[in-house]
Amino acid sequence: MAKLCLCLTAKTIQRNLEILSKYRKNTDLVELRVDCLDPDERLYIRRFPELAGLPVILTIRRDVDGGHFAGGEGARVKLLANGLAFANTDSRYNYAYVDIEDDFEVPSLEEAARTFGTKIIRSCHSLNGFIENIPKKLKSMQRSGDEIVKIAVAVKSANDVLQVLKASKKITAQNKILICMGHYGIYTRILADRFGSYLSYASALSESEVPGAPGQMDISELAELYRVQKITNKTKVYGLIGYPLKASVSPWFFNTVFSLENTDAVYVPFPTDSINDILEIAEGLDVNGLSITVPYKEAIIPKLQKSSDMVQSIGACNTISRTEEGWHGDNTDCGGFSESLLNFINRKNLKYLKTTIVGAGGVARSVASEIHRMGGKALILNRTVYKAKNIASKYNFKWGGLDNQGIELMSKYNDIIIQTSSVGMEGYEASDPLDLYSFSGDEVVMDLIYVPPVTPFLKRAMSAGCRTINGYDMVIRQACMQYAHFTGTEIPQKVLSQFNSMGANTWNKIRSA
């Protein structure tokens, strides 16, 4: 079980204590980043452990290591000595830990720390270049058996994280902290226990003017959503692979459900640039199931040992579960989409209804297949026309471009319009892919995007008086189906009702906080 450490980076002692009092309930220990304090405030660090009332790490991070201490080494040693001086026989009044770098050579200071029970965290920060042989480095850093060895390395790919995971498995005897800084490494902060780390550092993101380190996550998110302090080697791990993974509702959905039903499980985002590396990482971390999102829904298929008929016929997979024979692929986008649409229009099928599908990517494949299965007819319009044709030909549907010619065809396919492209999604172009089309107000309009909740396309449809729905309902329905694939059971109805009563508004508030 990894401890959660609140990294305090305010300019004054008083402000740090205010932040700590707000987040104390989620905090096992704190790190006082003396380098972030105003110079005058640094004179008063000795009393901080007593004022904090929790174990404290004394850290004065140099600017070369990503900190803010720009003074000379002499001044830094003096400050560290001030922090450790006048040790009290009651250890609660002393710093519990002092962070000193691998190249720090002041034996008298280390001796003083050891004498009064202050543990040494021996750290190495690599901000601009990967450490080649991490196991060797970990071994060489440790000078005595009671030290905690810490490596924080900036990662630029999933492969960098894989090397760190391999190192953690090789060096099991040492007390250590392994952190992959940056977006590709966020899960090393959630699954700190699986990486063999003694603690995970977190910030109070809404309070701190200065972030503790690149990629450091919010303490409330780590403690309350991901329940990091409760993760052990028995915890079941699930997650989501894709890139960039910055606006997915799935971590909130799964972790809220696990917490409501009191299950020892966690769902983690795994941003990646390589399917092979992330699957090796998932196996190394003993991950049980993964959701797959953009841009890997098609690329994952050749990596699977088994896949459902639906995955094979559609050519898109969004759910993989680890079985004894290897990874098994399923598709829950299909079920989520049709359930959401049929429920919205209050029908059992799409017979006699004509539909336009906007876009011809991975999700459009699932949508087209379901419309066909439900007895509907469709026109597929896409910027790149041949992709629309590829999908449409499979089901005897019509196709066209997002141009005047394509729009003209819509006059016979406008009972329902389904927008599946990424246009309007947060992080993508905020425009309307169907701006050449004028809504009559009689169309049912579905946009599969849910971040933002109303895209320019959906807003225009609403203004014209159309009945509209965004992709939130679909994504939650498909996630319920994923839950069943992952765990072999349905979500208890009571838990689902509790979750649904929070509604999309709760998610939107959390997301934009």
Which chain residues interact with ligand ATR by CB under 6 A? Answer: 294-295, 297, 359-364, 382-384, 387, 402, 420-423, 429, 433
Report how far residue 239's alpha carbon sits from residue 254's, in angstroms, rounded to the nearest whole number: 9
Nearer to ligand ATR, 84 or 423 (CB): 423
Closest approach, Cβ 209 to ligand ATR, in A, equals: 37
CB atoms within 10 A of CB 101: 18
- Which of 322, 337, 347 has its CA nearest to residue 418? 337
Nearer to ligand ATR, 264 or 435 (CB): 435
Q: Which residue is listed with tokens 């990629």?
A: 215
Of the candidates 119, 150, 297, 354, the residue annotated as catalytic is 297
Closest approach, Cβ 43 to ligand ATR, in A, equals: 56
CB atoms within 10 A of CB 50: 13
Closest approach, Cβ 459 to ligand ATR, in A, equals: 17
Nearer to ligand ATR, 225 or 357 (CB): 357
Report how far residue 500's alpha carbon sits from residue 506's, in angstroms, rounded to the nearest whole number: 10
Closest approach, Cβ 42 to ligand ATR, in A, equals: 51
Report how far residue 383's alpha carbon sits from residue 197's, in angstroms, rounded to the nearest whole number: 48
Residue nearest to ligand ATR (CB): 361
Question: Who's near 41: CB < 8 A, 6+ residues apart?
Answer: 11, 12, 13
Nearer to ligand ATR, 237 or 367 (CB): 367
Report how far residue 5's alpha carbon sits from residue 201's, in angstroms, rounded to the nearest whole number: 5
**DSSP annotation of 80:** H
**DSSP annotation of 490:** P
- In 209-315, at which residue ranges do the beta strands (DSSP E only) sit? 217-218, 236-242, 265-271, 287-292, 306-307
Is 176 assigned a catalytic role? no
CB atoms within 10 A of CB 20: 21
**DSSP annotation of 216:** P
Closest approach, Cβ 359 to ligand ATR, in A, equals: 4
Closest approach, Cβ 214 to ligand ATR, in A, equals: 28
Asked if residues 458 and 447 have their Cβ atoms less than 8 Å apart, the reply is yes
Asked if residues 250 and 291 have their Cβ atoms less than 8 Å apart, the reply is yes
Closest approach, Cβ 314 to ligand ATR, in A, equals: 12
Report how far residue 33's alpha carbon sits from residue 30's, in angstroms, rounded to the nearest whole number: 9
Closest approach, Cβ 410 to ligand ATR, in A, equals: 16
Q: Compute the residue count for the chain.
A: 513
Residue 187, H or E segment: helix 186-190
Nearer to ligand ATR, 295 or 492 (CB): 295
Can you say whether residue 310 is alpha, beta or left, with left for phi > 0 and alpha for psi between -120 and 50 degrees? alpha
- The dihedral through the CA atoms of 221, 222, 223, 227 has a sign that is positive
Nearer to ligand ATR, 188 or 366 (CB): 366
Show the CA angle centred on residue 483, arms to residues 481 and 488, nearest 5°.
100
Write the single-letter amino acid at 5. Answer: C
Closest approach, Cβ 487 to ligand ATR, in A, equals: 25
Nearer to ligand ATR, 38 or 428 (CB): 428
Helices 107-115 and 73-84: angle between axes, nearest 10 degrees: 10
Q: Which residues are catalytic?
A: 297
